[in-house]
Every structure is written in structure tokens, then in C-alpha cells.
């Protein structure tokens, strides 16, 4: 048993090492005075200084975060509603049709979604900028939330619902008291996946943005032609450290408070 | 459920707060006023100090937005919905934009500094009389190579790429016109050739190059060559200058059969609001001192004759990047071959990519 | 019951009509026009040429490999992660790396996998000697798995968490070996999560682009790359849309085929 434990721990260590290797690599070269991603010359904080003096970059970072938070929260709500809706369709044909529709946006390459959203938004006269970017991020995040929530709904045994109803719970009561707590892990998974999609998206955002609004991915990609400056590495390092502190700190704070963190699975 | 609701409310509050803060930053930077000039450019393709200086001189606030390919930029401009006062496309894109009526004519009387531009770079086939565009930077396509890794081997022609000792050593830039173009050039055809037999011949010849090709890549070609991942690359001269700045073992050559010459140009797209400001900006950038400062920052060759005089001699007399006139006469600009032909070029290039050992 | 069902469907269907149906209609419409704007069936005919058929085969083959390896890596990770202390924190730390810009991480991989990169120095040190890693099928599949792994781990983890521990005790008390318990009890109970994970990986993997160029050096040309090229380089939106339409049809077929099996599972 303990041998098995060692093995599993080793396995997890390797997985985490691989996951964080490229990030450590980026962080390492953010201190490179040569200004490149190879051949470490000497230690410098020059690139960090550059980041702190670049208000434009700061605005872009904030835009990115705002869009990511809003879009993932809204798309989680929409996605949960969507999953509840699909779950209630019992006949298999319309159900599969709905599911296929749901997946269209996941399978369509970003460029196509971006281009068609651009045509769509200019057609109905939405000004390109914050609103158009937010709407399209919500649009491509909802399907992934549905995909994450639906299996949980399917696992729920009908007897549970019947029991709740027999005990006199109303339709709304069943949903809030029984269904939502049960599918909570799926909701969190969906939320974090949506956040990931939003933070990483370049192609869709590029097409639907305008009027001075920009996100970090768009900025980074457009810099590729002339070489990405290490100040971007420095910025990513800062964002990464900030996220880590936030995540770890929040985890331990909520844990101490009620011994039950906000995300993940509810202990039975 | 309660926790879930609380978490979502927290997310909304944080996001809203950040949004308020962003708009505060925007207004404190002066971006919200109407007195702005929006520049749509490649990322990091102008010296930010010059932008700051222009803002001070003109009293305008510059908004800098970025794109990563000519085609994506054209799509955005043709769809409208957003303001761009200045853009900097490549010459083939300008031809297309002209056709699609995406450009506004430039009033030369408002740009006295136009006289600084070398006359070789004015009145070119893609824009006669520079009605719509003003040259910004220019360059060529050529071979960059690392003699150290190749035992002292040097290059002078496209056909040197086919040498059997270069197995798995060449990186190509991911562009249909560039690759089919040097295929045609190596056979001594024009890189604007549309003769089907010549194109097929070029495709067959390129097919025999595949054992030497390590990869076909995009902008990362600079990083790969500087890291000595491969010994040879077919690149734009601007990229070559950057690579050589990082790794001085590399050398660049414009092949003797001829090659492509490219231009990036300032234009005023039809989405412009501040046309007056756009002219001011173009004139500002053509000032010899500003152009020289920008050329040093970006590292590309400037078409501005007065500015070139101001550059340090080791840059301005470097024949690899400022070739003499005999050689420039052999270089060709990409002509607009029409959509049908262009798509045929792309099909050929796709077949070349799929042609694997 | 009927009433509530309709209520949930309303926002979801409205969203689908706006952001899914509209792009599909635009894509289908575009796919019938050639570069010069004339109506044509030619785009679909062109798809039937050997070049595109081989590309289709490639895309499916690589998507399959990526999904398979993601599953092979993700399942043990999720399984062992569940038994660690602070498991929710570790789970979240699996997602955090995907919040760093993909292009930057890809550049880091180029640095790590390069001829003079970290991995090759290590191989050299071990005595295996320098290998070409970059621009091979291996690096392509590796980086793709890296990108998609959180999308696989999350649903599997959630389904593992759902398993009632008493089932495992029962199985052990009845004399089943740990392997037997896993094969007969645990794995079948997590099939839902596995299926959700496979969908969340396989479908986007079909239309991968960018890393086909960055990591595989265009040695792998997938449908996603072709669409990207047609939209952004050739500006042949018709052909790009035609490929997208076929991709969507194929995806729908897969969904309907696997969806039926899924329905049977839920009845069990």
C-alpha cells in the first residue's frame, strides 16, 4: 500500500512538473538582460520596470480580467440553465439535436466564429468594443459549461428528485435545494473552463474588438511579428504569481473559516 | 446554493470594480476625449517615444491598436464598426484595399516631408503617384545562413538551397508567394509568373527540396534561427536584421537570380475620423530625424533618403539591407495576380506542405 | 413538469438562435460562393480531392491520438489527486497554468524542445544524445495534450468524487482485489466523466491550428490549419466555410452516434 502511495505521489509530481515547466521557463527569462528567450546573459529587473511604466499595458490587462470574470460568470449561469433544459428533454432525437447544436461553437475554428460574429455585430449595429467582446466570449463559453454540467445532471438518480417532490418541495425548491448542490462540482468546472477559454482566446476577440479596446492575447499575438519583448514575460510572471497568491490564499482562508472551500466538491 | 450565489456576486463586484478603475485610468490618460488619433499597426512597429513626442507636438491623444496579419486587418477595416485613422499594410494589401475602396486619397500638399523619400521608392506599380500610400519601411526576401554550422559554406543563389548536404537544415517562412516565388526565381522565371507550365515546374522543383526542409514556420523563425535550431532560413530582410542583431554568426544574402522587394506603407483607411490628424502624423514620421530614430528602433531599412544619412554608417552603408541600385533593379514587387491566381498559388503551396517524405 | 421544462428552454434557445444559428447560417451561405463571389458547388467538390481527404484523415488521426493520450495521463492524475490532502487546491493548480497565454507557453516549449534546449541537454547528460524533438509528431501530440489536459481531468475527477465510498468497501469485503474493484466498480461508474472529457478534448482537437505551425512546423496540416489559411491568408472564405460545414456535419454525426449510447448508460 505504501509503495503504491509513493508511486502515485511520484506520478503527480511529474505531472505538475510538466505542467509548470514552460511557465518556469518564461519566468526565468523575464530576468534575462539579453532580452531574449535563450542564452541567459545576466540578471536584470529592467523588464519589470518597463511593465510598471506602461499604463497602456495595465489597461489591457485589466480589460482582459474584467472580460474574463464577467463572461465566465454569465456563461456559467446561462450554461447551467441550458444543461437543465437539455436534461429535461427526454426523447433522444431532439435531445441529440440540441447537444449537436451546443457543440457547434466548440468545433468551429475560432477564426470562423470571430469572422461571423464580426459580420453579425456590424449587421445589427453593435459598436465594436467591450460589449461585442463580452457577448462573444459568453457565446463560446456557454457550450463548454453545458458539457461540464450535463454529466452531473445525468448521474442524479430520479429517486432523489421524486423523494424531494414527495416531501413537498416545489419545482423551484427542488432545483435550488437538491439539483444545484448536487451539480456544484460541474458548475465550478464549467466556470473555471470558461475563465480559461476567455483568458486564452485570441482569434475571436481580435475580430470583434475595436475603438481602442484590446485584450492581452491580441496584444501578444500582434507583437509576434517583431519579436515578443521580455516585458511580456515579466508581465506574465507577475500575473502568474498574483493568481497563485490569490488561489492559495483564498483556499486556506475559506478552509479555516468553514472547513469547506468554495469550489470543488461538497463533502458528504 | 448560498455559497454559490455569494461567490457569483463577489465575482460581479470585483469585475465591476476593476471596470470602473479601468475607465478611470483611461480618462486620466486622456483616451476618452474626441481629440484622438487611432493608429492600427503591427505590434511594436513604431518607437513609442515618437508617439509621445507626436502627442506633445500635435496635442492629439494617440490610441494604438494592433493586428497580426494584413488579411485580418483588411477584414476589420472592410467591416467597419470601429475607427482607424492610420494603418500600415504591406504593398500587396494596398492594391487589394484600393480595389475594394477601403482607402482615402492622401493630400500631398499637407505632407511637405514627402520630398525626403528616395525617389526610387515613389510612384511604384502598386500605387501610382502615391495617391493612397506613403512608404514606411522596405526590404527584400533572401537567404540567411550560419556558416559556422555548415563548415564555412556560403550562399549566393536560390539553387544553393538544393545542395544535398543541407538535409533537414532549412527553415522556410510560411508564405505562399514567398515560397512559390523563390521556386520560380530559382528557375529564372519571374516571381509573378502565371504560366501554368512554369508553376507546375516550380512545384515539382520545390518538391525535391523537401528533404532539406526542417519546418515551415511563421514569426518564430527569428527565434529558431537565432537559437541555431537550423542553419539556413528563407526570410524577409527585416527579420534577418533582427536575427543578426541577436546572433552575429549569421549572414544574409539576396540571391543573384533576383528576389522580392516589399514595402510597408502608411495609409488612411476609409474608417478614418481624424483625417487632418492622420496627415499630420504621416508628415511627422517622414521628418528625417524622426524617421531615423524610428529606423533605429524597429531595425528595418528606411526609404527616407535624408533619414538614412543620419543613421550610423555601419547601418546605412550595409549593402545587405540597403542594396545598390544594380541589384534593386533585379528585385520585383509582388503584383496583384487576381484572386483566382492567388488562390491557385495557395493550393500549390498547400500541396507542397502536404508533400512529405 | 412540462411548464418548468419550457421555462428553462427559453433563455437557452434564445441564446442558441442568436449566437449559434446565426454563425452557422452565415457559414453555410458563404460556403456556396467562390473567391470572386459567384455561386458554386466547387468548394465541396474540391474537398473531395486527395489533398483535402488526406488532411481530413490526418485531423481525425491526430485528434484521436491527442484524446487517447490525454485520457491515459488524466485518469491516473485525477484518480490519485482525489486521495491527496488539499485535493481541491491541487485540482485548481492543474487549471492555473492554462491561464498563461498560449503563444508564450508555446514559445517556451520551443525553447525547451530545441536542439540546444533543456530537454536535449538532459538527454545528452543521461547519455541518450541529442534528438530532434521539435517539429515531430511526438512534440505535436505532447503539446496538444498539455493544452487539453485540464479539460479531461476535471470531469473525470468530478465523477470519481461522486462514487459512494460504501460501494468500494462492499467490493473489498466481497474479496475483490484493488484492480478488480477498479475495473468492475470504479471505472464503469466514471464513464460519464470520461465521455464528457473525451468530447471536450476530441472536438476542439479536430480544429487545432497555430501549434501545427509552431510546434509541428507545418509537418502536420489539419483541417483547422486549412480553414485558418483560407480565412486569413487566401481570403477564400467560401472554401474555408465549406470545410467548416463538413466539420460541423461530422461532429453532429459523432454526437448523435455516441449520444445514443450515452442515453442507454443513463438508463442503467
pLDDT of residue B179: 94
Domain membership of residue C30 (yes or no) is no
The residue with greater pLDDT, B292 or A2, is: B292
CA-to-CA dists, residue C175 to B79, C26, C169, angstroms: 69, 60, 10
CA-to-CA dists, residue A24 to A21, A80, A201, A240, C100, angstroms: 5, 36, 22, 10, 11
**Dihedral sign, Cα of residue B85, residue B90, residue B93, residue B99:** positive
Cα dihedral: A104, A106, A110, A112 (round 10)? -10
SS3 (DSSP) at B357: coil
Percent pLDDT > 70 in chain A is: 93
Domain membership of residue A5 (yes or no) is no
Query: Residue C248: exposed, middle, or buried by beta-carbon count in 10 A (0-12, 13-18, 19+)?
Result: buried
- What CATH number should be reported for the domain holding residue C225? 1.10.3720.10
Q: How many domains does chain C have?
A: 1
Percent pLDDT > 90 in chain C is: 20
- Determine whether the interchain pair B227/C51 forms a contact, defined as Cβ–Cβ distance below 8 Å: no
Report pLDDT digits (tens) over B271-302: 898 999 999 999 999 999 999 999 988 888 99
| H/E element, B310 | helix B305-310
- Determine whether the interchain pair C203/A106 forms a contact, defined as Cβ–Cβ distance below 8 Å: yes
- Asked whether residue C129 carries a pLDDT value surpassing 50, the answer given is yes
Buried b (16+ CB within 10 A) or exposed e, B169-182: bbbbbbbbbbbbbb
pLDDT confidence band for A135 (50 / 70 / 90): very high
Q: Which residues, in sequence order, are bridge partners of residue B62? A: B37
DSSP characters over A26-59: HHHHTTBTT-SSSS---B--HHHHHHHT-HHHHH
Three cell numbers, residue B172 = 522556410
pLDDT confidence band for C225 (50 / 70 / 90): confident
Nearest Cα of chain C lies from the Cα of B209 at a distance, in angstroms, of 14
- Asked whether residue C42 carries a pLDDT value surpassing 60, the answer given is yes
Buried b (16+ CB within 10 A) or exposed e, B213-248: bbbbbbbbbbbbbbbbbbbbbbbbbbbbbbbbebbe
Q: Residue B239: which residues within 8 A CB-CB, separation 6 or more?
A: B144, B173, B219, B221, B222
pLDDT confidence band for C2 (50 / 70 / 90): very low
pLDDT of residue C74: 96
CATH of B7-137+264-322, one of 1.10.3720.10, 3.40.190.10, 3.40.50.2000, 1.10.510.10: 3.40.190.10
Give all strands (DSSP E) within C144-250, no chain letters. Answer: none
Q: What is the CA C248 to chain-centroid distance, rounded?
A: 15
Report pLDDT digits (tens) over C78-120: 999 988 888 888 988 998 898 888 888 998 998 899 888 888 8
SS3 (DSSP) at B101: coil
pLDDT of residue B187: 95
Yes or no: say if A112 and C227 are a contact pair by the CB < 8 Å rule: yes
Complex ipTM, two decimals? 0.84
The residue with greater pLDDT, C7 or B195, is: B195
Percent pLDDT > 70 in chain C is: 93
Is the minimum CB–CB distance between B69 and chain C shorter than 8 Å? yes
- Determine whether the interchain pair B298/A226 forms a contact, defined as Cβ–Cβ distance below 8 Å: yes
pLDDT of residue C226: 86
Residue C133 per-residue DSSP state: -
Chain C interface, mutation test: which of A97, A108, A124, most C Cβ atoms within 10 Å? A108
Distance between CA A58 and CA B34 in Å, rounded?
Answer: 22
Helix B288-298 vs helix B48-58: crossing angle, to nearest 10: 150
pLDDT of residue C265: 38
- What CATH number should be reported for the domain holding residue A119? 1.10.3720.10
Domain membership of residue C118 (yes or no) is yes
SS3 (DSSP) at B227: coil
SS3 (DSSP) at B42: strand
Closest Cβ–Cβ partner in C20, C118, C255 for A96: C255
The CB-side HSE value for B312 (13 A sphere, CA atoms) comes to: 5
Domain membership of residue A176 (yes or no) is yes
Say if residue B334 carries a ligand binding annotation: no
pLDDT of residue B32: 57
- Determine whether the interchain pair A111/C94 forms a contact, defined as Cβ–Cβ distance below 8 Å: no
B-chain residues within 8 Å CB-CB of C40? none
- Asked whether residue C260 carries a pLDDT value surpassing 50, the answer given is no
Domain membership of residue A24 (yes or no) is no
Domain membership of residue C112 (yes or no) is yes
Distance between CA B103 and CA C259 in Å, rounded?
Answer: 51
Q: What is the mean pLDDT of residues A120-145?
A: 88
CA angle B108, B110, B116 (to 5 degrees): 65
Which parts of chain B have pLDDT scores under 70?
A: 1, 29-34, 356-357
Distance between CA C123 and CA A45 in Å, rounded?
Answer: 32
pLDDT of residue C268: 28
- Asked whether residue A68 carries a pLDDT value surpassing 50, the answer given is yes
pLDDT of residue C261: 44
Q: What is the mean pLDDT of residues A84-105?
A: 80
Distance between CA B321 and CA A29 in Å, rounded?
Answer: 30
pLDDT of residue A107: 67
The residue with greater pLDDT, A173 or A82, is: A82
pLDDT confidence band for C66 (50 / 70 / 90): very high
The architecture that CATH gives domain B139-261+330-354 is 3-Layer(aba) Sandwich (3.40)
Q: What is the mean pLDDT of residues C12-32?
A: 85
pLDDT of residue C3: 46
Domain membership of residue C62 (yes or no) is yes
Distance between CA B231 and CA B225 in Å, rounded?
Answer: 7
Q: Name which of A151-155, B7-11, B283-287, C215-219 the model is least confident about.
A: A151-155
- Determine whether the interchain pair C200/A144 forms a contact, defined as Cβ–Cβ distance below 8 Å: yes
Q: Name which of A22-26, A175-179, B101-105 the model is least confident about.
A: A175-179
Domain membership of residue A258 (yes or no) is no
pLDDT of residue B207: 93
CA angle C132, C136, C140 (to 5 degrees): 130
pLDDT of residue B356: 65
Closest Cβ–Cβ partner in A37, A115, A189 for C107: A37
Domain membership of residue C25 (yes or no) is no
| H/E element, B104 | strand B103-104
CA angle A6, A9, A13 (to 5 degrees): 135
pLDDT confidence band for C71 (50 / 70 / 90): very high
- Asked whether residue A262 carries a pLDDT value surpassing 50, the answer given is no
Closest Cβ–Cβ partner in C35, C213, C216 for B218: C213
Distance between CA C242 and CA C21 in Å, rounded?
Answer: 16
pLDDT of residue A10: 93
Domain membership of residue A233 (yes or no) is no
Residue B28 per-residue DSSP state: H
Closest Cβ–Cβ partner in A19, A135, A148 for C155: A148
Yes or no: say if B270 and B280 are a contact pair by the CB < 8 Å rule: no
Q: How many CB atoms within 10 Å of residue C138?
A: 15
Q: What is the mean pLDDT of residues A226-250?
A: 86
Domain spans of chain B? 7-137+264-322, 139-261+330-354
Q: Name which of A94-108, B58-72, B272-286, C54-68 the model is least confident about.
A: A94-108
Yes or no: say if B296 and B310 are a contact pair by the CB < 8 Å rule: no
Three cell numbers, residue B304 = 527616407
Phi, psi of C217 (to 5 degrees): 55, 35
Is the minimum CB–CB distance between A225 and chain B shorter than 8 Å? yes
Cα dihedral: C60, C62, C68, C69 (round 10)? -170
The residue with greater pLDDT, B187 or C260, is: B187
Yes or no: say if A197 and A160 are a contact pair by the CB < 8 Å rule: no
- Determine whether the interchain pair A219/B43 forms a contact, defined as Cβ–Cβ distance below 8 Å: yes
Nearest Cα of chain C lies from the Cα of A33 at a distance, in angstroms, of 17
The residue with greater pLDDT, C248 or B1, is: C248
Of A167, A239, A238, A247, the C-alpha closest to A200 is A239
Domain membership of residue C29 (yes or no) is no
CATH topology match: B7-137+264-322 vs B139-261+330-354: yes
Q: How many CB atoms within 10 Å of residue B337?
A: 16
Q: How many domains does chain A have?
A: 1
Phi, psi of B274 (to 5 degrees): -100, 75
Domain membership of residue A157 (yes or no) is yes
Largest Cα–Cα separation, chain A: 72
Pairing state of beta strands B250-253 and B133-146? antiparallel
Domain membership of residue A201 (yes or no) is yes
pLDDT of residue A264: 45
Domain membership of residue A200 (yes or no) is yes
Amino acid at each position: 500500500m505504501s509503495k503504491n502511495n509513493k508511486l502515485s505521489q511520484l506520478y503527480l509530481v511529474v505531472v505538475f512538473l510538466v505542467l509548470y515547466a514552460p511557465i518556469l521557463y518564461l519566468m526565468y527569462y523575464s530576468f534575462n538582460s539579453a532580452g531574449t528567450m535563450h542564452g541567459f546573459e545576466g540578471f536584470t529587473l529592467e523588464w519589470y520596470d518597463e511593465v510598471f511604466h506602461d499604463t497602456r499595458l495595465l489597461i489591457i490587462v485589466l480589460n482582459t480580467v474584467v472580460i474574463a470574470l464577467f463572461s465566465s460568470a454569465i456563461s456559467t449561469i446561462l450554461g447551467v440553465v441550458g444543461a437543465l433544459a437539455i436534461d429535461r428533454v427526454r426523447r433522444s432525437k431532439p435531445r441529440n439535436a440540441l447537444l449537436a447544436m451546443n457543440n457547434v461553437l466548440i468545433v468551429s475554428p475560432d477564426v470562423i466564429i470571430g469572422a461571423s460574429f464580426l459580420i453579425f455585430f456590424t449587421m445589427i449595429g453593435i459598436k465594436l468594443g467591450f460589449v461585442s467582446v463580452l457577448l462573444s466570449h459568453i457565446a463560446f463559453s456557454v457550450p463548454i459549461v453545458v458539457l461540464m454540467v450535463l454529466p452531473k445532471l445525468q448521474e442524479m438518480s430520479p429517486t432523489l428528485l421524486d423523494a424531494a417532490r414527495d416531501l413537498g418541495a416545489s419545482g423551484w425548491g427542488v432545483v435550488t435545494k437538491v439539483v444545484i448542490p448536487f451539480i456544484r462540482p460541474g458548475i465550478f468546472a464549467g466556470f473555471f473552463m470558461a475563465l480559461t477559454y476567455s483568458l486564452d482566446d485570441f482569434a475571436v476577440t481580435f475580430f470583434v474588438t475595436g475603438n481602442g479596446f484590446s485584450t492581452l492575447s491580441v496584444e501578444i499575438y500582434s507583437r509576434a511579428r517583431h519579436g515578443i519583448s521580455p516585458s511580456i514575460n515579466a508581465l506574465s510572471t507577475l500575473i502568474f504569481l498574483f493568481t497563485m497568491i490569490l488561489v492559495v490564499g483564498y483556499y486556506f482562508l475559506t478552509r479555516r473559516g468553514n472547513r469547506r472551500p468554495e469550489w470543488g466538491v461538497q463533502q458528504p | 446554493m448560498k455559497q454559490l450565489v455569494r461567490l457569483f456576486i463577489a465575482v460581479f463586484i470585483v469585475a465591476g470594480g476593476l471596470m470602473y478603475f479601468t475607465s478611470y485610468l483611461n480618462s486620466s490618460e486622456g483616451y476618452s476625449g474626441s481629440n484622438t488619433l487611432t493608429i492600427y499597426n503591427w505590434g511594436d512597429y513604431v518607437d513609442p517615444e515618437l508617439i509621445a513626442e507626436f502627442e506633445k507636438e500635435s496635442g492629439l491623444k494617440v490610441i494604438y491598436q494592433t493586428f497580426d496579419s494584413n488579411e485580418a486587418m483588411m477584414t476589420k477595416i472592410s467591416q467597419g464598426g470601429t475607427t482607424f485613422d492610420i494603418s500600415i499594410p504591406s504593398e500587396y494589401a494596398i492594391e487589394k484595399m484600393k480595389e475594394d475602396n477601403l482607402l482615402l486619397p492622401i493630400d500631398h500638399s499637407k505632407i511637405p516631408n514627402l520630398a525626403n523619400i528616395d525617389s526610387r521608392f515613389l510612384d511604384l506599380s502598386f500605387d501610382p503617384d502615391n495617391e493612397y500610400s506613403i512608404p514606411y519601411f522596405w526590404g527584400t526576401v533572401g537567404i540567411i545562413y550560419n556558416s559556422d554550422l555548415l563548415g564555412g559554406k556560403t550562399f549566393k543563389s536560390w539553387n544553393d538551397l538544393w545542395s544535398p548536404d543541407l538535409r533537414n537544415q532549412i527553415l522556410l517562412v510560411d508564405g505562399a508567394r514567398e515560397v512559390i516565388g523563390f521556386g520560380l526565381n530559382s528557375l529564372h522565371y519571374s516571381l509573378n509568373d502565371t504560366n501554368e507550365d512554369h508553376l507546375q515546374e516550380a512545384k515539382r522543383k520545390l518538391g525535391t527540396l523537401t528533404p532539406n526542409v526542417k519546418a515551415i514556420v511563421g514569426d518564430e523563425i527569428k527565434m529558431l534561427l537565432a537559437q541555431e535550431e537550423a542553419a539556413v532560413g528563407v526570410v524577409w530582410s527585416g527579420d534577418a536584421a533582427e536575427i543578426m542583431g541577436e546572433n552575429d554568426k549569421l549572414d544574409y544574402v539576396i540571391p543573384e537570380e533576383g528576389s522580392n522587394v516589399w514595402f510597408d506603407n502608411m495609409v488612411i483607411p476609409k474608417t478614418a475620423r481624424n483625417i487632418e490628424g492622420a496627415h499630420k502624423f504621416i508628415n511627422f514620421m517622414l521628418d528625417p530625424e524622426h524617421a531615423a530614430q524610428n529606423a533605429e528602433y524597429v531595425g528595418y531599412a528606411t526609404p527616407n533618403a535624408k533619414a538614412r544619412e543620419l543613421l550610423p554608417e555601419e547601418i546605412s552603408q550595409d549593402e545587405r539591407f540597403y542594396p545598390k541600385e544594380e541589384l534593386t533593379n533585379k528585385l520585383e514587387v509582388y503584383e496583384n495576380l487576381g484572386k483566382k491566381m492567388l488562390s491557385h498559388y495557395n493550393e500549390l503551396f498547400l500541396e507542397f506542405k502536404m508533400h512529405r517524405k | 413538469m412540462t411548464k418548468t421544462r419550457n421555462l428553462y428552454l427559453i433563455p437557452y434557445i434564445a441564446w442558441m438562435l442568436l449566437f449559434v444559428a446565426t454563425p452557422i447560417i452565415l457559414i453555410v451561405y458563404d460556403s456556396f460562393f467562390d473567391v470572386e463571389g459567384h455561386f458554386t458547388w466547387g468548394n465541396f467538390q474540391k474537398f473531395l480531392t486527395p489533398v483535402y481527404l488526406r488532411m481530413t484523415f490526418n485531423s481525425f488521426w491526430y485528434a484521436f491520438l491527442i484524446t487517447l493520450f490525454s485520457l491515459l495521463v488524466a485518469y491516473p492524475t485525477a484518480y490519485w489527486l482525489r486521495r491527496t490532502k488539499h485535493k481541491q487546491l491541487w485540482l485548481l493548480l492543474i487549471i492555473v497554468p492554462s491561464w498563461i497565454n498560449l503563444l508564450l507557453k508555446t514559445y517556451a516549449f520551443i525553447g525547451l524542445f530545441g536542439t540546444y534546449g533543456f530537454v536535449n541537454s538532459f538527454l545528452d547528460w543521461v547519455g541518450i544524445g541529442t534528438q530532434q524533438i521539435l517539429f515531430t509528431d511526438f512534440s505535436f501530440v505532447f503539446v496538444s495534450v498539455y493544452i487539453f489536459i485540464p479539460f479531461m481531468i476535471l470531469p473525470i475527477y468530478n465523477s470519481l468524487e461522486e462514487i459512494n465510498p460504501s460501494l468500494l468497501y462492499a467490493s473489498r469485503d466481497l474479496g475483490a482485489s484493488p484492480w478488480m474493484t477498479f475495473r468492475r466498480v470504479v471505472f464503469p461508474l466514471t464513464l460519464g466523466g470520461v465521455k464528457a472529457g473525451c468530447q471536450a478534448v476530441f472536438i476542439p482537437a479536430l480544429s487545432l491550428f497555430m501549434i501545427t505551425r509552431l510546434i509541428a512546423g507545418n509537418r502536420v496540416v489539419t483541417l483547422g490549419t486549412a480553414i485558418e489559411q483560407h480565412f486569413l491568408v487566401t481570403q477564400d472564405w467560401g472554401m474555408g466555410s465549406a470545410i467548416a460545414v463538413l466539420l460541423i456535419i461530422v461532429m453532429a454525426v459523432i454526437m448523435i452516434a455516441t449520444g445514443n449510447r450515452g442515453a442507454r448508460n443513463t438508463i442503467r
